[in-house]
Amino acid sequence: MPKAIFMTIVFLAVTSSAMAMGTSDCLDCHSDDSLTKNVRGSEISLFVDEEIYGQSIHGDLDCTDCHEDLADVQDEHDEELKPVLCSNCHDDAAAEMEAAGHPAECSDCHGKHAILPPSDSRSSVYDLNVPGTCCTCHSDQETPDVCVQYESGMHGIVLIRSGMIFSAVCNDCHGSHDIRGAGDPASMVARVNINSTCASCHKGVAETYKGSIHGEIFADSPEDAPVCTSCHSAHDTERAMDDTFLLTVVKRCSSCHEEMGYTFSKNYHGQVTGMGYTRAAQCPDCHGAHGILPTDDPASMANPDNLVATCGKCHPGANRNFTMYMPHADYHDAQRYPMLYYVYLAMVVLLTGTFAFFGIHTLLWFIRAYLEKLRSRSGGAH
């Protein structure tokens, strides 16, 4: 094939006039869809589809507007071209890319000759196509695979399965050119920024959160407060009413509220939740979710004055008496729950006493009865 190219170049050199190259000149060769070159052992197509290029956002530009090094070339050019500098025009985007350090070329996401505006549904950066574009690199890059996670998460389901364009795609949370790792404080997904990133869509939730105890702590010291992603997964985002969320929410809350998580699991709601029964109460059912307030706050769902309504959501007819149930009681804790502790202790004594007495009784009986049986058997043999 290189021989064929050489012959073509020679042919062109002989036949073309000595003028600066125009797009039509380039296409004399590059409209051949079998035109390739060999780069480190693999065939690279050098074909440019004139029709698609014409429809692209750069369709009015000449080849040499981007391939500047060819501006003065007559007829033939080196096999190796200089990289195209998009930054000549797109200086803002290039500066962002440079600062953020996302190791990708413009063409990795936008393509080369077929670049279309992001609003065009054929564009590689059209919302519906963004995950596919990012995942050409990011699939299999991390464990777990963020691309697989996104697909099974709520955002992915809404975008891919329901085809809804307003769902969050990669760049809505990670930025388009200003893509930084989560560890970078300037990143859109950094701990300090994630709340406002989510809030660009989830406006109402963000407002509620700001009024909550978690929001209050966040305002003072963001490192000490849970942010959106502390409770909601980043890529495989569940719906809060889904079993997968409800069955793991206790674990999420417990990552900070460890003792409450433990005492919850020791009581009825926690036990049936532990058995996979989501109709029982989990943390948010009594404490709220985004607008969570400390129990001593009069507006808190778990404030004693509001418990009749809170318990009543699941237990219609619950009265003041009913709310005196202690969903976080720990009968091992003699200091805080002496009554429960002594009831438990009495049961332990009852169980131990009964089993000790009858255990010994049974053991002795077995030995005696067995000896008797042996004796009567040998007696019978005589």
Partner 1 sequence: MNENSHMENAGRGERWYLRFNYYHRFLHALIIISFLGLVLTGMPLKFYHTAWAQKLAGLMGGIGVAGLIHRMCGAITWLYFFLHLIFAAYYVVKVRDEPLGKWFLGPNSMVPWIKDLKDVIGHVLWFLGMGERPKFDRFTYWEKFDYFAVFWGVGIIGFSGLMLWFPEFFAQMVPGWTFNIAIILHSDEALLAAGFIFTIHFFNTHLRPEKFPLDHVIFTGRISEEEFQHERPLEYERMVEQGKLSSLETTPPTKTSLVWARIAGFIAYGVGLIMILLIIYSALKELH
Give the position of tokens 């003699």: 334
Exactly one of 275, 296, 298, 381 binds partner 1 (CB under 8 A); that residue is: 275
Exactly one of 268, 295, 336, 356 binds partner 1 (CB under 8 A); that residue is: 268
For residue 43, the SS3 value is strand
Exactly one of 321, 335, 381, 382 binds partner 1 (CB under 8 A); that residue is: 321
Handedness of CA 358, 359, 365, 366 (dihedral sign): positive
What is the closest distance, in whole angstroms, from the C-beta atom of residue 260 to partner 1 in the complex? Answer: 16
Residue 38's DSSP bridge partners are: 43
What is the closest distance, in whole angstroms, from the C-beta atom of residue 352 to partner 1 in the complex? Answer: 10
Exactly one of 274, 295, 299, 336 binds partner 1 (CB under 8 A); that residue is: 274
Q: Is 325 in the site for partner 1 (CB under 8 A)?
A: yes
Tokens of 265: 């699991």
CA distance linking residue 331 with residue 339, whole number of Å: 8
Give the position of tokens 């809060």: 240
Q: Is 376 in the site for partner 1 (CB under 8 A)?
A: yes
For the chain, list the strands marked E by DSSP. 36-39, 42-45
What is the closest distance, in whole angstroms, from the C-beta atom of residue 152 to partner 1 in the complex? Answer: 23
Determine the interface stretch with partner 1 among 94-102, 121-129, 142-150, 367-375 (rule: CB under 8 A): 367-375
Q: DSSP class of residue 158? A: I
Rg, the chain, Cα only: 36
Max Cα distance, the chain (Å): 132
Q: Mark residues 333-362: x for contact with partner 1 by CB under 8 A, - for none.
A: ----x-xx--xx--xx-xx--xx--xx-xx
What is the closest distance, in whole angstroms, from the C-beta atom of residue 298 to partner 1 in the complex? Answer: 21
135 to 154, contacts with partner 1 by CB under 8 A?
Answer: none
For residue 221, the SS3 value is coil
CA distance linking residue 183 with residue 343, whole number of Å: 51
What is the closest distance, in whole angstroms, from the C-beta atom of residue 376 to partner 1 in the complex? Answer: 7
- C-alpha 332: how far from its chain's center? 39
For residue 378, the SS3 value is helix
Exactly one of 199, 272, 289, 334 binds partner 1 (CB under 8 A); that residue is: 272
CA distance linking residue 131 with residue 117, whole number of Å: 17
What is the closest distance, in whole angstroms, from the C-beta atom of residue 358 to partner 1 in the complex? Answer: 4
> Would you say 229 and 194 are in contact if contact means Cβ atoms under 8 Å apart?
yes
> Count of residues binding partner 1 (CB under 8 A)?
49
Exactly one of 322, 333, 336, 338 binds partner 1 (CB under 8 A); that residue is: 322
Q: Is 309 in the site for partner 1 (CB under 8 A)?
A: no
> Would you say 330 and 266 are in contact if contact means Cβ atoms under 8 Å apart?
yes
Q: Is 271 in the site for partner 1 (CB under 8 A)?
A: yes
Exactly one of 239, 279, 313, 336 binds partner 1 (CB under 8 A); that residue is: 279
User: What number of helices (H) and strands (E) belong to the chain?
Assistant: 21, 2
What is the closest distance, in whole angstroms, from the C-beta atom of residue 311 to partner 1 in the complex? Answer: 9
- Which residues in this chain contact partner 1 in the complex, by CB under 8 A? 265, 267-268, 271-272, 274-277, 279, 315-319, 321-326, 329, 331, 337, 339-340, 343-344, 347-348, 350-351, 354-355, 358-359, 361-362, 364-370, 372-373, 376, 379
